[in-house]
Amino acid sequence: MKILLLGANGQVGHELIRALTSLGEVVVATRNGELADGTPCLPADLSDTASLAAALDAADARVIVNAAAYTAVDRAEDEASLADRINHRAVGEIGTWAARHAALVVHYSTDYVFDGTATRPWRESDPTAPLGVYGRTKLDGEHALRVSGASHLIFRTAWVYAARGHNFLRTMLRLAAEREELRVVADQIGAPTPARWIADTTATALALWCESHARADLGGVYHLTAAGHGSWCDFATAIVQGAARRGLLARAARVMPIATADYPTPAQRPAYSVLDCMRLKNAFGLELHDWRVGVDEVLDEVAAQVEGTG
């Protein structure tokens, strides 16, 4: 099986390079045609129709995994056109190409398609109502892929982080090393999910899809997050305490809960982002561990990186 991986320099994309290798030939693509370490790869800029079309034709893959996205939630409010181009229109172009070439598209979406007002975990069938540009463009991308006619798997995930890149965990580690006290929002609830778990679950689901005689029944939208839930404050506390235990921090900074209103941002965030992942379990037999297990695993990875460079 030949797989085109778009967005290979992102958190999930980086993990997918490893996770997809066992499934076949992986053609890796990034916006500028280079991996983070400088290794050349296929250029595929989703903000440029011609660049994307050229990459799709050059790879000529039977599976396209799109891990590329415009994810700057606040900046999207001022760059709506660019966010729409990458998160919506490019996804439609990928779907159109895939439908024409009988290829499968694996795509990632977000909890931001919901308004956060639920009192129980969001199901795939629940009404969507994004609060800002980012969520709206991601939802439009889902719709564009569905109407393209391409076979597809859409994984909605949330609160993604990893040992590398720009994410909440790495920001908390940096701030906790600089400050004695961290003030973190405690009234937004979700499930922090490691990029590695998302990549490994994707690879397993893709392998099962390829082996299935009922592929049409397996297509569609799935929720894919860690089990359990907590606030950003809970997440920060787990990070700081776990990092201190591993010697990544000289001392554990105090983590103080604050309200969303005390930390205003250009884009409104959903207050409740917990996703119901039962459809993923029922269709593929896949169920992720509790989010706190993920924090420990990623901190172990960070510790190993520090030891390796020490």
Structure tokens at 109: 């979406």
Q: How large is the angle between the packed helices 11-20 and 195-211, nearest 10 degrees?
A: 40
Report in angstroms the alpha-carbon separations of 147 from 52, 94, 185, 216. 19, 12, 38, 15
Q: Active site includes 272?
A: no
* Locus of tokens 């190409």: 97
Helix (H) or strand (E) holding 104: strand 104-110
Q: Which of 108, 112, 134, 222 is catalytic?
A: 134
d(CA 114, CA 125): 11
Structure tokens at 188: 């937004």
d(CA 41, CA 31): 10
Structure tokens at 266: 């250009």
Q: How large is the angle between the packed helices 232-245 and 291-309, nearest 10 degrees?
A: 40
Question: Could you list the active site residues?
Answer: 134
